[in-house]
Copies of this chain bind each other. A is one copy, B any other.
């Protein structure tokens, strides 16, 4: 089955009018969520170090580093914004496979600053990029992942190539080449989890996919059967390959509709416990001092993946369900601030952390939890979280996503800019030129900010 050519053909002949309204809306939600992640971590040391390393080699100032003042050529902008997308592990997650936005949107937003792109074109290219990367990823999933590949990098590069190729107007043969050039750059090892290279993966995927599309637009050739051939992507990197997944039901369903957003700045598996603590805190106005103990019944994955009893840093706090529950109860939130070094060391929180227990129960799903809080006055409060906030069963609302965006960007952008970006995303498909997004997503110069306040 000639799936590379078939996919290329589907990508090229797709029209914006084919994309359902619900998918367009989901694209705008994903864009806002992604912008928040990239802007919010733009001053992270991972981003600082990558930028310091490559800035001396950047080309013309074609595209913004989101959340910062620097402008780079579009390839380097895609790299750096791809890294910042994923640094906090707060970006979106497809229900079954990869982080869809981080490898694709950095390429598109950079390209859109270089070649005028409307909101509708952006939405269209993004939806197709997600379709390509998820379908290719799912065609080899989970065996490919179990081999040790970080699928957000290895499949993400196809998404970036397909999306950028769509914006560049590639013909079917060029699109097949773009997919092939992507395939032969596909990379990213799970061994990098816990190091800065985890974020490098979507950054390189965005940059390499964009490069693939640019090369193909100049008729740089590759195999036209790069995905399915005996020595192509699928068979070289996975013990199983189901080519039908790549083409079946094309245009009838959209992978973007399986997209999930994280309300909490840590691994998905802890979310239900956090969710329950916040629900009980808010419903019963619980003061931390009044708590005798917090008892969690959770999936066995929870203590296995996040069982750190005494986290020593903010990062370790993300791998401690005890810290997450305590911080959620004290602050009523679990954003980056709750996973800072300061919060992990806060005596009020560490005292409460010691009163948290997590009982594994094989009957409980990974986004489910039973949370019981025993108060010193003898009362016992309980809640069953069947599906954590942010799952497909209980998605974050548009208002939730806008609040998350505002929280992530508050330390970087002026309030007026935050509102402006939210407004632009609400109105995304009507925008004539989406470069305004990137222009608004950088801190205003001091002078300009001063002007606003005088």
Contacts and interface: CB of A to CB of B under 8 A. Distances in A.
A57 B61 CA distance: 9
A134 interface: no
A124 interface: no
A229 B197 CA distance: 15
Contacts of A215: 49-50, 53-54, 200
Nearest to A45: B219
A223 B229 CA distance: 32
Contact of A180 (B49, B58, B195): B195
A249 interface: no
A71 interface: no
Contacts of A150: 184
A190 B231 contact: yes
A225 B191 contact: yes
Given A52-B218, A57-B62, A188 B184 contact: yes
A378 interface: no
A222 interface: yes
Nearest to A223: B191
A232 B74 contact: no
**Interface centre among A54, A62, A76, by most B CB within 10 Å?**
A54
Contacts of A59: 56-59, 73
A225 B73 CA distance: 33
B230 A148 contact: yes
A78 to B, nearest CB: 10
Interface in A199-237: 200-201, 204, 211, 214-215, 217-223, 225-226, 229-233, 235-236
Contacts of A231: 148, 189-191
Contacts of A118: none
A226 B57 contact: no
A184 B180 contact: no
Nearest to A217: B53
For chain A, give the interface size range.
35 or more
A46 interface: yes
Nearest to A63: B57
Interface in A399-417: none
A156 B409 CA distance: 41
A74 to B, nearest CB: 6
A184, A189, A191, A233: which has the most chain B beta carbons within 10 Å? A191
Interface of A: 46, 49-50, 52-54, 56-60, 62, 73-76, 147-150, 153, 180-181, 183-192, 194-197, 200-201, 204, 211, 214-215, 217-223, 225-226, 229-233, 235-236
29 contacts: A49-B218, A52-B218, A53-B217, A54-B75, A56-B59, A57-B60, A57-B74, A57-B76, A58-B59, A58-B73, A59-B73, A148-B235, A180-B192, A180-B195, A180-B197, A183-B191, A184-B187, A184-B189, A184-B192, A185-B187, A189-B223, A190-B231, A191-B225, A191-B230, A191-B232, A192-B222, A194-B223, A196-B222, A200-B220
